[in-house]
Structure 1
Amino acid sequence: MEYFSEFITIALVHLVAVASPGPDFAIVVRYSISYGRRLAMYASVGVGLGILLHVAYSLVGLSIVIKTTPWLYSAISYLAAAYFLYLAYGALRSGPSDSAATVETIANNKPVTLRKALLSGFLTNGLNPKATLFFLSLFTAIIDVNTPVGVKAIYGIYLAVATGAWFCFLSYLLSTSRVARLIGDKGYWLDRLMGVVLIALAIRLITI
């Protein structure tokens, strides 16, 4: 109970972060629409496992080193902003697609192994600077420095499981026929909205 309020804070912050559009969301949408529910869920589990990578370097203190080294922190922030702008550029260029062509493209997709789907999710999250900055902030600003490493590890496991569970649920939702048709017809608006959000995140990173 001593760390319950800290855990609740972390859970709420994580809920907002995981629900926001980003690379993790994009990879799950892609697998759901292009390859189906099963592969999308493997990609979702991969995203959850990627969280453990961020937790690992945070637990050994690398996040504190980054935080206390101004030039390194700034470099990561600018790299993250550039990455977000790159993703935003592609998202804002999306437009409506022909439904028949979309169906044909999906049907002709090359088979993807479960291992590749898992690895894609893991790398998407593990190499995502947004996630790096999120955990850097989480383990230096929200979690008290005196919190035992064991408790921090429990936090990390929760974040990984919660992330994987959220994206598995999203995979299930996106692979239902009605939602899949809606995304096929109007999904480019979702991409454009994601682009606007990513631009806002990039601006925030280089102005704070």
Structure 2
Amino acid sequence: MTLTAWLSLLAICCLGAMSPGPSLAVVLKQTVTNSRRHGLAASWFHAAGVGLWAFATISGLAILVAESQFAFQVITWLGAGYLAWIGVKAIRAGKQSAFGVNEGKKVSIFTAGIEGAAISVLNPKLAIFFIALFSQFVSPDATFADHMIMTATAALVDGLWYTLMVFLLSHGPILKTLQKRSQLVNRLTGGILIALAARVVTL
């Protein structure tokens, strides 16, 4: 892969990672409710899920998902159900328990990571995105190293972007403001997640 091609791939991956959506809401939730480490776990487990979709696309597995209406619908509905479940938990959370976590009780870092991974793994639209993206860069003479570079680029860009978000949110007045308004943030986040779930199943 040439440097020019890789820079083009990098730019598109950056734009994809920066697109607002449920992933940012989950990272925000874990950072504000629990800790920076929880937010980082959600970020990098999410990035691992992105990496899986990227690898699956390159190896041809994502094409099967995209072309199989049944498989696509199953993953879509699972993803929408998961988003709705998180959204309901957030709305029902009290002022003292942000984002559905009971007062004084924090989830494990591993649980935060699994939540981040689920948001990406249960998102079949990533398959469509990577099919459209990698079709511009995969060629018959591409080596295994080229494929791994593309996969690593997608995963690292995603993880680094949300890591940046975690550090921005976990410092200074931003975090304090979010914590003071945790109930409002809960309800807004929950509403966004439920709206996204509804949008997924109605498209």
TM-score (norm 2): 0.72
In the alignment, is the contact (CA less than 8 A) between 1:174 and 1:180 conserved in 2? yes
8 A contact 1:21–1:197 mirrored in 2 = no
**How far apart are residue 16 of structure 1 and its match?**
2.1
Distance 2:53 2:60 in 1: 11
TM-superposition CA deviations, 1:129-153 (whole Å, max 9, x none) = 23233223323x3323333332121
1:72-123 CA distance string (max 9 Å, x none): 1x445545665676547975997798755659x66422341x3333333333
**Secondary structure at the counterpart of residue 142 of structure 1:** coil
Query: Residue 132 in 1 paired to residue 127 in 2?
Result: yes
Q: 1:57 to 1:37 in 2, by over 3 A?
A: same
Q: Give the TM-score taking structure 1 as reference length.
A: 0.70
Percent identity among equivalent residues? 18
Show the counterpart of 1:44: 43
1:169 aligns with 2:164: yes
SS in structure 1 at match of 2:48 = helix
2:104 to 99, 105, 108: 108
Deviates more, 1:130-139 or 1:187-196: 187-196
Task: Give the aligned partner of residue 152 of structure 2.
Answer: 157
Letter in 2 for 1:171: V
Quickly say closer, same or farther: Cα 1:142–1:77, change in 2 above 3 A: farther
> In 2, distance between residues paired with 1:101 and 1:123?
22
Unaligned runs of 5+ in 1: none
Amino acid in structure 2 at the alignment position of 1:12: A
For 2:25, the equivalent position in structure 1 comes to 26
Q: 1:201 to 1:106 in 2, by over 3 A?
A: same
Root-mean-square deviation (CA, aligned residues, Å) is 3.6
- TM-superposed CA distance for 1:3, in Å, is 2.8
Give yes or no for contact 1:80–1:130 (8 Å, CA) kept in 2.
no
